[in-house]
Structure 1
Amino acid sequence: MMPEQVQQHIRAQGQILKTRDDPAPIFIRYDATTTEPSKAFKVSPDTPCSWAKADETFGPEKLRPRIEPWLTALVQSEHLSLLLGSGLTHAIHGLATEAELPGMTAVKFDVLSAEITEDAKRVATMAGRNSGNFEDQIRAANELLRGLEIVASTKAGDSHEQEQVEGLRKDLKSALASFANSILKAERSLAATATVKREEAFNYLVSFLMSFASRSGTRDRLNLFTTNYDRYIEAGADVAGLRLIDRFVGTLAPLFRASRLDIDLHYNPPGIRGEPRYLEGVARFTKLHGSVDWVDVERTIRRIGLPFGAEDAAPYLNAPGLNGADAMRFMIYPNAAKDRETASHPYVELFRDFAAGICRPNSTLVCYGYSFGDDHINRVIEDMLTIPSAHLVIIAYGDPLGRIMRTYEKLRRHAQITLLLGDHLGNLAILVEHYLPKPAIDRTTFRMAELLKARWGTQQAQHDTVSEAVPDGGGSVS
């Protein structure tokens, strides 16, 4: 299919599946002639498929054997990474509140607004988006502010250039404060929803996270990456009892360290000699675009005690040690304090972790809710797939701008890519209920399988022996 046809297919509630030995994506559509969930789908007529006939109707019971065992095998790769985009936040928020999560809407600048808007639109067009969003505007405004500061450095204090610098800085501060509060509002709407709905949403989130974090004791830790600024993942990890290891060190005001401390926890299983195993319930955590509770203070990055879903972030910046920090100090990508030697800190360290985490042999990267709109992330993923044993799994509710399928075609590593796209295959609740691995892949699972196989095999063998011994007339064996 052409890119336009793919987008139309997904908008019409179509699904795209590519797993196991599928040489190309399988396009699946809803069968409008039936209301039975077990016969909800058909393979599109123009799609060659080895496991379903063109006129055959089927449901999750046929898709599950194609998906669940395959994902179970992939998540037990030697190295496993999970990249979560805004789709996860939208899914959890929708499950809890049954309402859409507000997006990053454009903001209005009083100083050089037209120039900022035009540059944001230019960057968005290069990234395959129709219009500039909040991030594009902040990036353009930051670059413009730095240029105006250079121009105004030789001007008088009451000059027009100095006024533009102060005005643009004020606009930026206001925009960042408003954006931080909108993130907190999304957190607050989740925390304040009805208890039953909130617990249901968190149960799905916990099951989703533990499907990947439940690694056997001999496997490397899960590397958990996210582009989100909110703290839905941290809240889910708290509920699940999942310990997240990041670059922050400390208790009262954790400090970001450029030297990554791979602090790890091990245990020695009773009666087993040799090297210790990894302790369960631990994952390495990296927020690639920063967080709403990260603040730049005196050439250090600190995580402040900002409550989940607070009404306003400003009061929590008025604390001893923060030295009058304001919204301009929030470490929300691409915002960066201008008194630093480089505007890339701490993001350069975070992306170094991302590259080191996924660009390894026998590595699997699972992307959920990520639209492939960030070229700096896509380049690292492209490098990862140059390793023949690496594999990429893309799970998404939709592909409204066609970036996922364009990236799939661009990478040209189709044998190393698994696709699950659509409002069924990418639905968080359906994924957890039908297609994701069970949240505990351990020795007990394999022992149970061996026990059942042994029992079934013994019973079958006995049945075969008796059948051979019984005469055709059905008489008893003497």
Structure 2
Amino acid sequence: MKNLSMDNQYIKVGSSPEVIELQPNSDKQDIFYPFTLSKSSTWGEQGSEISVEKLRQYIEPWLAALFQSEHLNLLIGSGLSTSIQMAATDSPPKGMGWVDDLTVCQQEINEYATKAANGAGRSNGNIEDQIRAINELIKGLEILTVLETPVPEAPPEPHPPYRNLKAELNALKSELSRCLGEFSKSISNGEYLIKSADPTRKEETFNYLVSFLMSFASRTATRDRLHIFTTNYDRLIEVGAELSGLRLVDRFVGSIAPVFRSSRLEVDYHYNPPGIRGEPRYLEGVARFTKLHGSLDWHEKDGAIRRFGLPFGARSVEPFLEAEGHSSSSYEQLMIYPNSVKDRETAEYPYVELFRDLAAAVSRPNSTLVTYGYSFGDEHINRVIEDMLTVPSTHLVIIAFNDPLQRVVDFIDKSGRKAQITLLLGDHLGDLKTLVDNYLPKPAIDKASIKMAELLKQRGFTPSEGLDKEGLTGGLM
């Protein structure tokens, strides 16, 4: 699977080891058969026309079965934010470019950031790479300047006179705050554009977001809760959960200024059925939630990680930081941590706790991990997924709009566990609206439909007979 075409679709479902490649139908007018097979396969001869309905027959039942695994986890990357913003505004999120006016060590920081970007398979670095480089440099300068305070028993050797390291350290800390400020503004600006979009389009887009989330979260309360992980800093998932009535359980405790807790108490929601005492039942519509790289509304205060009340779509976080007692432009207190090439950064609090949650949730027997919009660019996350696949009863579902850097393909080839991987790759299969309309399971716990399917089976009907032809059992069998 090398040299992927951006126009083609790549699909691997079921027990078949082969990846089916679909190319656009040369007959542009045929909307019912939009694809043809690029080469002969178990689906047919090369050039055979493939309809959306046929794709649905392969994909939807398979995903429905996987989504009922004992443990279900969803890993969401930046692809979801891009899909939502494109659907609501027709414009993609702005790329995070350089901060090109750093006052100290500009060349060194940019060179290090570029090297890190190249190591991750990107030709150019961005502000995230710069922030990481500044963090590393600050740690180094803190070591070099630690002896500037004289120790009476052992006077230190002075540092080389050609550089004022203490002044550079202070300047770098200011630059870090400024870069984080620019970074936070790019995130909040994306939220603002979605919130201020045309009301009709915004409503339609959020309805698709709700359906997307509920396709995964619609699990009976007797099964393990869906666990949602995301590398995003924005609050789109939180908004979608709020609109759908999905209760999210995370590590924060409190109402006014929720604080991050390290304890894993498996807190959950229960209710007491009328007339029954002492037998609480699990409440439906509950999911666990973990933001692996922090969030736009997290900040550090007095040694604790807290979440402040930042409205969705706020133009800036600065007034809210000041309300929490931070000085003006104290963006270094924000807990937004840029994605890393190496995993040593995840050893810091609170990220070590978040990644422990990821490893504990996915590396269990009979579990399924679904990734959507995740580019497989984070080594520390990839390692967890690789470890998960060493458990034979686990399964990985990769849904992606594209793979320009071949990271998805490289991960699949490297894993050597193709039998445990499902792939839906392409601008059709990875499109949010197309997924919700055609391929994801019904976003509800529909016991009536299940019972109806059982009755029809008992009475001798098959999906191609009787009531199904009238459209009464479509999608049930």
Letter in 2 for 1:121: T
* 87-96 or 140-149, larger mean C-alpha shift: 140-149
Q: Aligned-residue CA RMSD in angstroms?
A: 2.6
Residues 133 and 461 of structure 1, relative CA distance in 2, 3 Å threshold: closer
Deviations 1:287-326 (A, max 9, x none): 0000011001111000011111112211111125557781
Partner of 2:474: none
Q: Which runs of 5+ in 2 are unaligned?
A: 151-160, 341-345, 467-477
Question: Does structure 1 residue 90 correspond to structure 2 residue 82?
Answer: yes
Cα 1:65–1:270 shift into 2, 3 Å: farther
Name the aligned partner's letter for residue 110 of structure 1: T
For structure 1, the 5+ residue unaligned runs are: 337-341, 463-478
CA distance in 2, matches of 1:455, 1:200: 40
Aligned letter for 1:124? A
For 2:339 and 2:36, how far apart are their aligned partners in 1?
47
Find the aligned partners of 2:304 and 2:271 in 1 and give their Cα distance. Answer: 34
Once the two structures are TM-superposed, the CA of residue 125 in structure 1 deviates from its matched residue by 1.9
Greater CA drift, 243-252 or 174-183 = 174-183
**Residues 32-54 of structure 1: CA deviation (Å, up to 9, x unaligned):** 23421211111112xx4212322
Measured in 2, the distance between the counterparts of 1:388 and 1:355 equals 16
1:144: which partner in 2? 137
Q: Which amino acid in the other structure matches residue 314 of structure 1? A: E
Distance across 2 between alignment mates of 1:144 and 1:461: 70
Equivalent residues of 1:68, 1:436 under 8 A apart:
yes
CA contact (8 A) 1:290 1:332 kept: yes
* Structure 1 residues 116-155: aligned runs within 5 Å: 116-155=109-148
> Contact between 1:77 and 1:364, CA under 8 Å: does it hold in 2?
yes
Q: d(CA) in 2 for partners of 1:165 and 1:226?
A: 33
Distance in 2 between residues matched to 1:32 and 1:329, nearest whole Å: 55
Q: Please identify, of 419-428 and 54-63, the stretch whose mean Cα deviation from structure 2 is larger.
A: 54-63
Match of 1:188 in 2: 192
Q: Which residue of 2 aligns with 1:19?
A: 13
Opposite residue 144 of structure 1, the aligned amino acid is L
The reply on whether 1:102 has 2:106 as its aligned counterpart is: no
**Which residue number corresponds to residue 447 of structure 2?**
443
Distance in 1, matches of 2:10 and 2:395, equals 18
- With over 3 angstroms needed to count, the CA separation of the structure-2 counterparts of 1:19 and 1:116, relative to structure 1, is same
Distance (whole Å) between structure 1 residues aligned to residue 432 and residue 60 of structure 2: 14
Q: 1:58 aligns with which of 50, 54, 57?
A: 50
Distance in 2, Cα, partners of 1:334 & 1:227: 9
User: In 2, are the aligned partners of 1:87 and 1:370 still within 8 Å (CA)?
Assistant: yes
Q: TM-score, normalised by structure 2?
A: 0.89
Structure 1 counterpart of 2:222? 218
The answer to whether the Cα contact below 8 Å between 2:191 and 2:313 also exists between their aligned partners in 1 is yes
Distance 2:369 2:292 in 1: 15
SS of 2:26's partner is coil
Instruction: State the Cα distance separating 1:160 from its structure 2 match.
Output: 1.5
Partner of 1:73: 65
Q: 1:51 to 1:296 in 2, by over 3 A?
A: same
SS in 2 for 1:35: coil
**Offset at residue 79 of structure 1 (A):** 0.1
- The one-character-per-residue Cα deviations of 1:103-156 (angstroms, maximum 9, x if unpaired) are 222222221111111111222222222222222221111010111122223348
2:274 pairs with 1:280 = no
Task: Return the alpha-carbon distance in structure 1 between the equivalents of residues 252 and 433 of structure 2.
Answer: 32
C-alpha distance in 2 between matches for 1:335 and 1:123? 11
* Contact 1:155/1:161 (<8 A) preserved: no
1:114 to 83, 107, 115: 107
Number of paired residues? 448
CA distance in 2, matches of 1:412, 1:251: 46
Structure 2 residue aligned with 1:469: none
- Amino acid corresponding to residue 25 of structure 1 in structure 2: V
Task: Output the amino acid matched with 1:145.
Answer: I
Contact preservation (8 Å) 2:11, 2:21? yes
- Shift of residue 271 of structure 1? 9.8
Tell me, in whole angstroms, the C-alpha distance in 2 between the residues paired with 1:217 and 1:169: 48
**What TM-score do the two structures reach when normalised by structure 1?**
0.89
Cα 1:270–1:73 change in 2 (3 A) is: farther
2:383 is matched with which residue: 373, 379, 383? 379
Residues 209-358 of structure 1: pairs in structure 2 closer than 5 A: 209-267=213-271, 277-319=281-323, 326-334=330-338, 344-358=348-362
Specify whether residues 155 and 335 from structure 1 end up closer, same or farther in structure 2 by C-alpha distance, changes over 3 A only. Answer: farther
Shift of 1:218: 1.6
Residue pair 1:138, 1:335 contacting (<8 A) in 2 also: no
Looking at structure 2, the residues matched to 208 and 279 of structure 1 have their Cα atoms a distance apart, in angstroms, of: 20
Alignment partners' CA distance in 1, 2:275 and 2:317: 52
Q: Distance in 2 between the 1:180 and 1:233 partners?
A: 17
Q: Cα offset for 1:405? A: 0.3
What is the DSSP-based 3-state SS (H/G/I as helix, E as strand, rest coil) of the residue aligned with 1:218? coil
After superposition, the Cα gap between the structure-2 partners of 1:357 and 1:297, relative to the gap in structure 1 and judged at 3 Å, is same
**CA offsets per residue over residues 366-406 of structure 1, 9 Å max, x none?**
00000000000000000000000000000000001000000
Query: Using a 3 Å threshold, how does the CA distance of structure 1 residues 255 and 30 change in structure 2: closer, same or farther?
Result: same
d(CA) in 1 for partners of 2:347, 2:50? 53
